[in-house]
Amino acid sequence: MKIISLNDVQRTDSPIYYRRFYSGVLSVEIMDKTVKRKIDFKIEHMPTGKKHISVTFEQPVDYPLVPLMKKLKLYLDELDTSGQLPV
């Protein structure tokens, strides 16, 4: 399983400044085939200084969800840290 890209990322406005809501199309390579799924995710900054990332898929994925979510959360954290997500 390999995350290829996250395209069409859009930010949804939120009145709470420490929560950011996004949606986009995730491209993942699973068993030599590319799968695209629409996702919604939230990045929340906790009072302790850590980030909490939660992801929901609009369609099911034919792959174990725990390893996929772990890799996806790391990928989203890297995108956020490097400033590649919309402001």
**44-87 residue pLDDT tens:** 999 999 999 999 999 999 899 999 999 999 999 999 999 999 98
* pTM of the predicted model as reported, rounded to 2 decimal places: 0.94
Q: Enumerate residues 6+ apart whose C-beta is below 8 A from 55.
A: 39, 40, 41, 69, 72, 73, 76
**3-44 residue pLDDT tens:** 999 999 999 999 999 999 999 999 999 999 999 999 999 999
For 2-81, which CATH class?
A: alpha beta
Q: 59 with 38: CB under 8 angstroms?
A: yes
Q: What are the backbone angles phi and psi of residue 66, rounded to the nearest 5°?
A: -65, -50
d(CA 38, CA 82) in angstroms, rounded, equals: 22
Where are the chain's structural domains?
A: 2-81
Starting at the edge strand found earlier in the chain, the sheet holding 51-57 runs 2-12, 19-30, 33-45, 51-57
Paired tokens of 39: 């996702």
